[in-house]
Structure 1
Amino acid sequence: MKLGRIVSGITATALSAAVTVSAAAPASADAVSDFYKGKTVTLIVGSGEGGSYDFMGRLIARHLQSHIPGKPNIIVNNMPGASSVRATGYVYNVALKDGSVMALVQPTVVLNKLIEPDAKYKPQELNWLGRVAPITLAGVVWHTAPADTVDEAKKHELIFGASGATGYAAIIPWAMNNIVGTKFRVVRGYKSMASEIVAMERGEIQGIGSLGWDYFPSRRPEWVENRTVRPLYVIGMERHDTLPNVPTVVELANTDLDRNVMQLFAGTISIGYAVMTPPGVPSERIDALQDALAKVAKDEAFLKDAQKRKLQIDPLTGSQVQKLVADVVEAPEAVVSKMREVIKPPKK
């Protein structure tokens, strides 16, 4: 066979393939648009109303609709319980796997799988769409508390509030007691961060072991200015720009193993305000939702809303969040074992 005839055959095949691909792409996009057109999409928020996750979830929902092909209606459904474990279990096991259900949950659900291996979900199998913003978590006390520094908290008991035994509001104070030597006592049973803040304001509790610090500059700026609420520590790898004099939990640890435990807590928080869907959602819909969330993070109206509320927007792609999740799930056994030891609820 002559070379010219071979080249001609290859060229014809390539052109045919190109035509097929170009025809398939719009068809795929049209299929996604057709699916979402006229549909109602639910964004589950894994915490109660009034807290930072609820606030961010509703902000995302407000701007996400216009960026999803077909522009579906989006409703927000709060599903509090066990620091988002309930919502995550629902998304993993019960929710429709067609792209009509998304969730914004506390990133601690990823770490919870290491704490409770029997938890009915696998965080690495969820489809993480991306992160819109980081979270700044801090332990805080009310201005009337008998201690407002970590050193003073080693001398005086502080009563903290939490929803349950699985969230950072409980496990960080317990870990601090065992690693740093503080004297935190955790009262559980609050429904949400908002109810914990009300309890702190009323004097039922003296502080909260973990909450989104961004809540205060955006919702109660006078509390920050007047030092009505005071940060004790930041749950992060590095000190926060707006809290330069507040230590991180990592720097408070004294041994390498203890630092690794605190780094595991802090690294989990890097997941931030991230949105996910159940496993099994068709890949073309995952791609469309990831693209839509990425566009929200660049949307001028969204950024303007975020700036009004003093929110720091620093997005990550779905694949970047998926990597962070995998890093937590694959933590060394020695670190996981020590973590489980230091976060055990104290015996009554």
Structure 2
Amino acid sequence: MFTKVTSVFAALTVLLFSTGVFFTADARPFYKGKRIIFLGNYPAGGANSTEGRIFAAHIAKHIPGKPRIIFRDMGGAGGLVATNYLAEAARPNGMTVGFFTWNPVAQVLKDPGLRVDYPDLQFVAAAAPPVICYIRKDAAPGGINSPQDFFKKARGFKFGGLRTTSTHDLKGRLSLDLLIGPENYKTVTGYRGFTPIFAAIHQNEVQYHTTSIPGYRRVVEPTMEKPGLVKVLYQYETPTVDGRYLRSPNLPNLPTWLEVYKMKNGKNAMPSGMKWKTLKFLNTLNSQLFRMVFLPPKAPKAALKALRTAFSAVTKDKEFLAAYKKAIKAKPAVIVGKKGEAIINATLRNVDPKMVSFLRQYVKSGGK
């Protein structure tokens, strides 16, 4: 009898070793009993903060261990202050998670304000909301009430920017240069975030701006568009690998910038040259990766795995989707894990040297 029991025990031991099933302290979820800080890289009240807080409010239940999550905003230098903090000052223990509107151009141009390479951060996930462009209606005599009014009459207005090397400023300037000419507007850059620019629009310090759909739904639509202060003109298009330029499904009735370009120049017209090539490159990148979730470079792999699992799960969470739709009137587009890593590495390590040279000169002429 003793021999039989011993044999059964031995067989169970072999089974447990072979399957890796052990009930030890190692099975405790990494984030059990912990608190995570989600760190935004723009001031509170802007699009980044709006979207980040929706994710933060719903993601915890999908993280093994169900930690407590706090969202904090750290604006400055066009989003670079918080980016540097995550890489240099945040403890790499998995308890600080960046929720950033990233600025890949800063790395391409070796902006001294960015002291980390994005591929060195650990990529968790990314969201890609569409971006709209709008202008005060009183920025031209007789008012701007349509895209046609804009490209025919808008002259001498000011575009509110963040930093000469920011993707926001560069896309704004490139699209305006191609549509109405660089001589017909001025760029006023250096605002600490979108919240100050929203205030500047209200105060008529600047008249033109661009923002992603969270900022549009939370601020622009209720406080500017509906009261009749601004006209929303167009959205940046999403370029596809087969040569198409698409509207976002979240803004099906708003024309793209390219469609407005064709309104002005003819239905078969296409922009060309390095400005167009650069704008298309930035639109291609931002249509996939815009709002980025990062961990510090040396954060534990267990943290990375847990967070990637959670961001995959939250996109199927009915409560999260309902909250996102209520606040933003859109569906989130999220990329998780290896796919995003591949895009980051492929994009930032293979930029056309001619484009880099062009951008260096273009940045020097910015912030008039």
1:249 and 1:128 map into 2 onto residues whose CA distance is 34
- Paired with 1:134 and 1:161, the residues of 2 have a C-alpha distance of 22
1:163 alignment partner in structure 2: 162
- Higher alpha-carbon deviation: 166-175 or 257-266: 166-175
Distance 2:50 2:208 in 1: 21
Is 1:83 aligned with 2:78? yes
Q: Does 1:246 align with 2:256?
A: yes
Name whichever of 274-283 and 157-166 sits farther off: 157-166
Cα distance in structure 2, aligned partners of 1:184 and 1:120: 32
Partner of 2:354: 334
CA drift of 1:337 comes to 2.0
Name the structure 2 match of 1:8.
Answer: none
Paired amino acid for 1:201: H
CA RMSD of aligned residues (A): 3.0
User: d(CA) in 2 for partners of 1:279 and 1:249?
Assistant: 41
Mean Cα deviation higher: 249-258 or 326-335: 249-258
Q: Paired residue for 1:268?
A: 285
* Runs of 5+ unmatched residues, structure 1: 1-11
Report the residue type matching 1:157 in the other structure: G
Separation in 2 of the partners of 1:16 and 1:153?
79
One-letter code aligned to 2:41 = G
Deviations 1:17-70 (A, max 9, x none): 97345236x769724x1x422222111000001011101111111111111122
Hey, what's the Cα distance between the residues in 2 that align with 1:36 and 1:326?
29
**In 1, Cα distance between equivalents of 2:125 and 2:164:** 27
Aligned residues: 330
Q: Which amino acid aligns with 1:104?
A: F
Query: Do the aligned partners of residues 173 and 140 (structure 1) sit closer, same or farther apart at CA in structure 2, a change above 3 Å counting?
Result: same
The Cα shift of 1:152 comes to 2.4
The residue identity in structure 2 corresponding to 1:326 is: N
Counterpart of 1:30 in structure 2 is 27
Deviation at 1:201, TM superposition (A): 1.4
**Counterpart contact for 1:250–1:262, Cα < 8 Å:** no
Query: Could you tell me which residue of structure 2 aligns to residue 45 of structure 1?
Result: 40
* 2:363 maps to which of 327, 343, 346: 343
The answer on whether the counterparts of 1:46 and 1:86 sit within 8 Å (CA) in structure 2 is yes
**Correspondence 1:116 to 2:110:** yes
1:1-348 equivalences in 2 (<5 Å): 16=14, 19-23=17-21, 30-31=27-28, 33=29, 35-107=30-102, 109-116=103-110, 118=112, 119-131=114-126, 133-146=127-140, 149=147, 152=151, 156-176=155-175, 179-180=178-179, 181-182=181-182, 183-208=184-209, 210-222=210-222, 223-224=224-225, 228-237=229-238, 238-241=246-249, 242=251, 243-248=253-258, 254-269=271-286, 270-309=288-327, 310-329=329-348, 330-346=350-366
2:234–2:260 Cα contact (<8 Å) kept? no
1: CA distance, partners of 2:259 / 2:165: 18
Bigger Cα displacement from structure 2, 74-83 vs 188-197: 188-197
- Aligned-partner Cα distance in 1 for 2:311–2:360: 34
Tell me, yes or no, if the aligned pair for 2:92 and 2:298 is still in contact at 8 Å: yes
CA distance in 2, matches of 1:280, 1:192: 28
- Deviation at residue 127 of structure 1 after TM alignment: 1.2
Identical aligned residues as a percent: 20
Q: How far does residue 320 in structure 1 lie from its aligned partner after superposition?
A: 1.7
SS of the residue 2:78 aligns to:
coil
Shifted more, 285-294 versus 159-168: the winner is: 159-168
**AA matched with 2:136:** W
- 1:215 Cα offset (Å): 2.6
What does residue 9 of structure 1 align with? none
Give the whole-Å Cα distance in 1 for the aligned partners of 2:356 and 2:346: 12
- Aligned equivalents of 2:367, 2:195: Cα separation in 1: 28
Range 286-295 or range 305-314, more displaced: 305-314
For 1:18 and 1:178, how far apart are their aligned partners in 2? 67
What SS does the corresponding residue of 2:45 show, helix, strand or coil?
coil
TM-score, structure 1 as length reference: 0.83
Instruction: Give the corresponding residue for 2:265.
Output: none
Rounded Cα–Cα distance in structure 2 between residues aligned with 1:27 and 1:186: 60
Q: Is the 8 A contact 1:45 1:57 kept in 2?
A: yes
Aligned-partner SS, 1:36: coil
Measure how far apart 1:220 and its partner are: 5.0
Q: CA deviation at 1:173?
A: 3.5
